[in-house]
Amino acid sequence: MDLSKISIKLRPRNGYAAIDLGTRMAQKNWKSMFLSAVIFTLPLFALLIFLMPNHPIWAIFVVWWLKPLWERPLLLILSQDVFHQRPTLKEIILHGFKLLFKQLIPSITWRRFSPTRSFDAPVMQLENLSGSERRERLTALHSRSPSSISGMTIMMHLIESLMAFAIMLFILQFLPTDDIEWKIFLENLVTNSGLHLYYLLFAIGWYLAMVLMAPFYVAGGFSSYLNQRSIREAWDLELVFRQLAAKHKSRSFDYKNIIVSILVCSFIFITPKTYSADEQEIDLYAEQKSRVKAQIENIQSGPDYKRTETTTELRRINPLEPNSDEDESEEADESKSSSSSSLIGKEFGRVLSWLFLIALIVFILFKIPAMIEYFQSGARSKNEKLSNKKKPEQLFGLDLKLENLPDDIVQESKILWQQSQHREALGLLYRASLSKLIHQFDCEFEDGFTELECLIIVQQNQLSLSPYFSELTQAWRLLAYGHKLPSEQTFLTLADHWSNNFVPETSESNKQRGVDE
Amino acid sequence: MNESNDQEISPATEPKPSPFQVCHNKIQAIRSQIKKAVIGQDNVVDLALVSLLASGHLLIEGVPGLGKTLLVKSIAKAISGDFARIQFTPDLMPSDVTGHAFFDQNDSSFKIRKGPAFTNLLLADEINRAPAKTQASLLEVMQEQQITIEGTPHIIDKPFMVLATQNPLEQEGTYALPEAELDRFLLNATIEYPDASSEEAIVKMITEGHVGDSFATEQIEAVASTKDILAMQKVATKISVDDSLYSYAVRLVQASRQWPGIRAGAGPRATIALIRCAKALVLLRGGNFVTPDDIKQIATPVLRHRISLSAELEIEGVKVTNVIHDILEQVEAPRG
């Protein structure tokens, strides 16, 4: 590797500018980095899904936990690209597998939740430092590290989570399932009432989000690391010197020039001086010098040398510090504020990461009993949940709330019939039937359904009350649209049989019977 | 056509058959005669009869060779009516449709030569191939049932029905029907390819004992007269419609005007057409009152040609029928 041939422009930047550089680096190498991430994770993810088909969340959790390991090949690609090297896929796989086992245990245990993980990775992976050396090195690098690194970690967490949900919902749009409503979906997800399809989709979404975002996270950390080295160790200058040295070294020794130089020098020393000519030359020289100086000043006052750059950053100002010493202590202040703000950011990030982990573990532990119960009880709970999803209170312009129905529907309808309110009497029976069918028999009716379409739904659900409902529907249609009054006997029969079919005590047995049939 | 709602409800039994029952029997006789010739196109046959009973005009969309001419010929023969066919071409003149006045040198007077529109059943084949002026020549006869030649209106014989066809595939060199003219058609039917068994029956029927590939309508008997049709049209108007169904029809049509993705919804003619067609459909089925199911069933052919989708939906490939289906699902159905 030729360190003098660097592909990026190194100079001291602020933290977010360094991350921007990392983003550009990730964009440049995105294809190979993404491919590498997929190669190292997909077999594991697929294997875990295969082994635990009912627990896709566990599978993705394992892949997520092992992130520090499979991010290493990505850093390898970036570190080589910085010096114009493009490793082949084979090299990436070979080196990647060697890198996986480097400081394995610390990486996936106590260092796993470091908010500066991507920033610290090059120290271990590229500088090959471990133990106290690594610690000292990181202390040195962190001493003026900006809070942007922790901020980036938090942001990446958020983006990854959002992206996981977004991908999952995107996939859901293409599934030919029944309409998935947000409320139902979130309810199912949170209450864990089954539907491991959602969990599987969530796992796939999370996996894709991870492999899509990992190149940017690794590159952001790596560019911050390079930036920190430029600030602390003037690594950018070192590389410039290396380039200069390499340039001079590459030149062959020019004997001709040396000989010509010696000859010219000796000619100058041997030639006798003419003083009158010398005075004239001195005046000429002074004149030239002043002209050149003026030209230089003119050029330096031009726009090329007057570039101003405005940067905005947050700094803690110590109000007790006297203003007069501002200039002298500016550098010290900057150092202090920078290190303190980075320390705060880092601690904040660390606390957030741990809180996230704890919340995740608590959530999973809390959900385990429900998951076990679900997987033991099959899809029953799922069906129960789904059955509750559509309980319209008003359909076809009718109030179908159970609580708004009279206590004794049959008696009430008979009273109405006796009062010659025939339409209202039969209408009450029909409305009450619809209400019961919706709330107790889980029939799903749409606003646009006609009476016959409702009847078809009831028949499709194979409810034992469908013959009765068919008779009631016919009588109702004749009265409502044909204006033909059913005979009193027909009405009384319908009213008397209503209770047998719709009262709560018998409804469950009816339903069960219908299902059995 | 689906006959899901005619089996449960039958008109009240009376010692003497009601006019509805008489009409139903006659229509069924016509229907069975037509179906002797037109096989596997029950839906289009029913829509043509609905259109005839509702005294409207039918726009049929379908590729050539599916029996459109045969359908019109069969209806004409079954009702003992006249039949005329005009092949619309780009050079067809309005006078070729309606007729014109000419100077008869024998008696030195102007005489009227009546065009093919003077008939009971007019088949306007590939109507969109003629320019707008010729298409518009049908407007008067379709709406007013009269033809004006040289300033003199001529009343045409009733019943009168135009069955116009459009080829949905070939759009090159065609003139799309203006919305005003489309609105004059009561119904829009699509004629599809027959299924395998129907096609087999058609082939067998045409190839056994016939010369050529066209079906002869000799075996169709005239089971009704044009007077019967006029009487049935009157009976159809007497079919009972509950007030809630008028509201339902209005709600449906108004929904088409406010529905997202619809550029231009249906006009009041569509509401009128919904009720007229629902009544005719009920008569065809032997009922005597309209139900929401009848309106829902007839809504697609009534609304299909009266709705224009927005460019976004057209680009997405959404069909008008899908949108109508959504409207029917979401607009509140009446409950008496």
What pLDDT is recorded for position A254? 54
- Cα separations in angstroms, B27 against A212, A482, B73, B79, B236: 68, 21, 16, 10, 12
- What chain A residue is nearest to B327 in terms of C-alpha separation? A448
A190-228 burial: b if 16+ Cβ within 10 Å, else e: eebbbbbebbbbbbbbbbbbbbbbbbbbbbbbbbbbbbb
Question: How far is it, in rounded angstroms, from Cα A252 to Cα A263?
Answer: 21
What pLDDT is recorded for position A219? 92
What pLDDT is recorded for position B271? 93
Q: Considering chain B, what percentage of its residues have pLDDT values greater than 70?
A: 91
On whether any CB of chain A is under 8 Å from the CB of B289, the answer is yes
SS3 A427: helix
**Residues from chain A contacting residue B333 (CB–CB below 8 Å):** 396, 447-450, 453
pLDDT digits (tens, 9 = 90+) for B65-124: 788 888 888 888 888 888 888 888 888 888 888 888 888 888 888 888 888 888 888 888
Residue B3 pLDDT more than 50? no
Ranges of H-type helices in A378-465: 380-387, 409-418, 422-439, 451-460
B264: region left, alpha or beta (phi > 0 left; psi from -120 to 50 alpha): beta
Instruction: Write down which residue in B185, B218, B236 finishes a domain.
Output: B236
**Residue of A396, A481, A487 for testing the chain B interface, max B β-carbons within 10 Å:** A481
The backbone torsions φ and ψ at residue B245, rounded to the nearest 5 degrees and listed phi first, read -80, -30
**Residues from chain B contacting residue A427 (CB–CB below 8 Å):** 335-336
What total of structural domains would you count in chain B? 2
**Residues from chain A contacting residue B336 (CB–CB below 8 Å):** 423, 427, 476, 479-481
- Helix, strand, coil percentages (3-state) for chain B, rounded to 5, are 45, 15, 40
**DSSP state, residue B177:** P
Question: How far is it, in rounded angstroms, from Cα B302 to Cα A98?
Answer: 72
Question: How far is it, in rounded angstroms, from Cα A440 to Cα A504?
Answer: 8
Q: Confirm whether B58 is domain-assigned.
A: yes
**DSSP state, residue A144:** T
Q: What is the DSSP pairing of strand A398-399 with strand A394-395?
A: antiparallel
Q: Considering chain B, what percentage of its residues have pLDDT values greater than 90?
A: 19
State the average pLDDT for chain A.
76
Residue B60: strand pairing partners = B165, B189
Measured from the Cβ of residue A134, the count of other Cβ atoms closer than 10 Å reads: 17
Mean pLDDT of A64-75: 89
Question: How far is it, in rounded angstroms, from Cα B120 to Cα B158?
Answer: 6
Question: How far is it, in rounded angstroms, from Cα A31 to Cα A77?
Answer: 11
> B248 and B114, same structural domain?
no
Mean pLDDT of A104-128: 84
Tokens of A309: 């750059």
What pLDDT is recorded for position A448? 82
> B110 and B68, same structural domain?
yes
> B309 and B260, same structural domain?
yes
**Residues from chain A contacting residue B9 (CB–CB below 8 Å):** 474, 477-478, 482
Q: How far apart are the first and last CA of chain A?
A: 78
> B217 and B122, same structural domain?
yes
What pLDDT is recorded for position B295? 93
Q: In the block, which residue shows the tokens 């003497």?
A: B16
On whether any CB of chain A is under 8 Å from the CB of B288, the answer is yes
Instruction: Write down which residue in B213, B236, B259 finishes a domain.
Output: B236
Of the candidate ranges A64-68, A385-389, B259-263, the one whose mean pLDDT is the lowest: A385-389
Of B288, B291, B329, the CB nearest to A477: B291
- What chain A residue is nearest to B324 in terms of C-alpha separation? A448
pLDDT digits (tens, 9 = 90+) for A245-271: 766 665 555 555 556 656 655 555 555
> B336 and B201, same structural domain?
no
Name the band, by pLDDT with cuts 50, 70 and 90, for residue B51: very high
* HSE (side-chain half, CA atoms, 13 Å) at A257: 4
Tokens of B261: 């993705």
> B226 and B253, same structural domain?
no
What pLDDT is recorded for position A509? 45
Q: Are B101 and B152 spatial neighbours (Cβ–Cβ below 8 Å)?
A: no
Q: Is the dihedral of CA A505, A511, A512, A517 positive or negative?
A: positive
Q: How far apart are the first and last CA of chain B?
A: 25
What pLDDT is recorded for position B187? 92
B5 vs B36, more confident: B36
> B230 and B128, same structural domain?
yes
pLDDT digits (tens, 9 = 90+) for B285-296: 888 899 999 999
pLDDT digits (tens, 9 = 90+) for B147-181: 888 888 888 888 899 988 887 766 677 788 888 78
What pLDDT is recorded for position A397? 65
> B267 and B215, same structural domain?
no
> B321 and B191, same structural domain?
no
- Cα separations in angstroms, B312 against B53, B264, B316, B318: 38, 14, 6, 9
Of the candidate ranges A371-385, A423-437, B185-199, B247-261, the one whose mean pLDDT is the lowest: A371-385
Q: Confirm whether B6 is domain-assigned.
A: no
- What chain B residue is nearest to A395 in terms of C-alpha separation? B332
> B265 and B215, same structural domain?
no
State the average pLDDT for chain B.
84
Give pTM, 2 decimals: 0.54
Q: Are A202 and A190 spatial neighbours (Cβ–Cβ below 8 Å)?
A: no
**Residues from chain A contacting residue B330 (CB–CB below 8 Å):** 446-448
Instruction: Write down which residue in B220, B236, B252 finishes a domain.
Output: B236
Residue B246 pLDDT more than 90? yes
Question: How far is it, in rounded angstroms, from Cα A350 to Cα A324?
Answer: 38
Looking at residue B153, which CATH number applies to its domain? 3.40.50.300
Q: Are A467 and A447 spatial neighbours (Cβ–Cβ below 8 Å)?
A: no
Q: Is the dihedral of CA B260, B263, B267, B270 positive or negative?
A: negative
Reply yes or no: is the peptide bond before residue A115 cis, omega within 30 of 0: no
Of the candidate ranges A291-305, A412-426, B320-334, the one whose mean pLDDT is the lowest: A291-305
Q: Are A110 and A354 spatial neighbours (Cβ–Cβ below 8 Å)?
A: no
What pLDDT is recorded for position B111? 83
What pLDDT is recorded for position B213? 58
Nearest to A374 by CA among A203, A202, A192, A197: A192
What pLDDT is recorded for position B254? 92
Of B242, B290, B332, the CB nearest to A447: B332
Question: How far is it, in rounded angstroms, from Cα A175 to Cα A269?
Answer: 94
Question: How far is it, in rounded angstroms, from Cα A56 to Cα B244?
Answer: 53
Q: Confirm whether B66 is domain-assigned.
A: yes
Of B289, B292, B331, the CB nearest to A482: B289
SS3 A382: helix
> B199 and B61, same structural domain?
yes
Q: Are A452 and A476 spatial neighbours (Cβ–Cβ below 8 Å)?
A: no
Q: Are A33 and A218 spatial neighbours (Cβ–Cβ below 8 Å)?
A: yes
What pLDDT is recorded for position B47? 92
Q: Which domain holds residue B279?
A: 239-336
Under 8 Å CB-to-CB from A308, ≥6 apart: which residues? none
Name the band, by pLDDT with cuts 50, 70 and 90, for residue A203: confident
Q: Are A321 and A337 spatial neighbours (Cβ–Cβ below 8 Å)?
A: no
pLDDT digits (tens, 9 = 90+) for A384-411: 544 555 566 666 666 777 777 787 888 8
Nearest to B296 by CA among B324, B323, B269: B324
Looking at residue B270, which CATH number applies to its domain? 1.10.8.80
Q: Considering chain A, what percentage of its residues have pLDDT values greater than 70?
A: 70
Residue A451 pLDDT more than 80? yes
Of A396, A427, A431, the CB nearest to B333: A396
> B260 and B197, same structural domain?
no
0.85 surpassed by complex ipTM? no
